[in-house]
Amino acid sequence: MSVATPLRAVLPPASARDPFFDNAKFLAITLVVSGHLIEDLRDVPAAHAAYFFVYTFHMPLFIVLSGYLSRNFTFSSGKARKLISTLAVPYVIFELIYSLPRLILYGKLDISLLDPYYLTWFLMSLFLWRLSTPVWQQLRWPLVIAVGLSLLSGMSRLPDELSMNRTLGLLPFYVLGLMLRPEHFEWLRRRWVRVAGAVTLAAGAVLAFAIHTSVKTEWIRWRHANDVIGVDDLTGSLIRLGMLAAGALLVAAFLAITPSRRTWYSGLGMATMYAYLLHGLVVKVAERFYGDWSQTLPGVVAVALFGVGLAALLCTAPVRRVTRWAVEPSMSWAFTRLRRPA
């Protein structure tokens, strides 16, 4: 889902960590993994509705947490190096890794580091959002400006380079995270808010099942301009504003029902960047084995449950040890020594 990302936060030692955020990250990454696994099963109405519902808020959730955990970002040398080693270098590595299946299966090697492929768009966008952090912290109405930029981005066919549509379209969620304070999360833990959160998520799921066939899924992907989706700019702006509001509401509801105590998966929530970056490889392989059995409601449920198990597995210590070179590469050799202040 380092302070550079909600999926891997640089926080105090485990004993001092607030398990609430680790719980939220793990629960969210299970939605991401399961959502990607059922993406090719959307001919089943329940799968299409679940996909629509989850995609309305699962990446906004990560982005909000990203902004919250990035509040202290500066251009100091230490944090700049962390930005490079936790986002820029893994981005390059996984751009290359995800190009290998296309090379093996189709004999096509197509690499463009400025045009993110598949899951890597999030690393690119997060890199750019974090660089902009000091700017947003100087503005008087940052969220209003971010929403305005999001709506304006839908009025133009922005280039695919730097994942511009998603970077600008989802920007308000990052800025919202920057504006949050610990007391806001404490408020979400009140009993009546938790109950309201559960009701809101249930109502959102029911609504998603009711309207999923009449709303184009491109609205939840934030990839294209209004005219590409087939609407004028006024209609598109109103829909985008509604999607921003719905995403923020569902993020708050999800966080409200997230356990604040330490759970069996709290430790896994400390390493969800591994699940995020690695699960795409499994998804690409699994999709080739889908058959008639998967095009049924029991099949969709089985695939979704497999996603939960896969997310947990990819966060475990053995997987981390084997893949740390790609997800958390050691880059100390590439930097000069940090100078201690006099």
Res. 339: pLDDT tops 70: no
What is the dihedral angle through the alpha carbons of 10, 271, 38, 105, rounded to the nearest 10 degrees? 100
Rounded Cα gap, residues 154 and 243, in angstroms: 12
pLDDT tens across 63-118, in order?
999 899 888 877 666 777 888 888 999 999 998 888 887 677 666 777 777 888 88
Res. 239: pLDDT tops 70: yes
| Nearest residue to 62 (alpha-carbon basis) of 250, 340, 308, 333 | 250
Rounded Cα gap, residues 270 and 247, in angstroms: 24
pLDDT tens across 253-311, in order?
999 999 999 999 999 999 989 999 999 999 988 888 888 888 999 999 999 999 999 99
| Nearest residue to 280 (alpha-carbon basis) of 12, 19, 37, 21 | 37
Structure tokens, 53: 């519902």
pLDDT tens across 137-183, in order?
899 999 999 999 999 999 988 887 888 999 999 999 999 999 999 99
Q: What is the pTM of this model?
A: 0.89
pLDDT tens across 23-51, in order?
999 999 999 999 999 999 999 999 999 99
Rounded Cα gap, residues 236 and 243, in angstroms: 10
Let me know: does 116 contact 99? Beta carbons within 8 Å.
Answer: no
Confidence of residue 11 (pLDDT cuts 50, 70, 90): very low
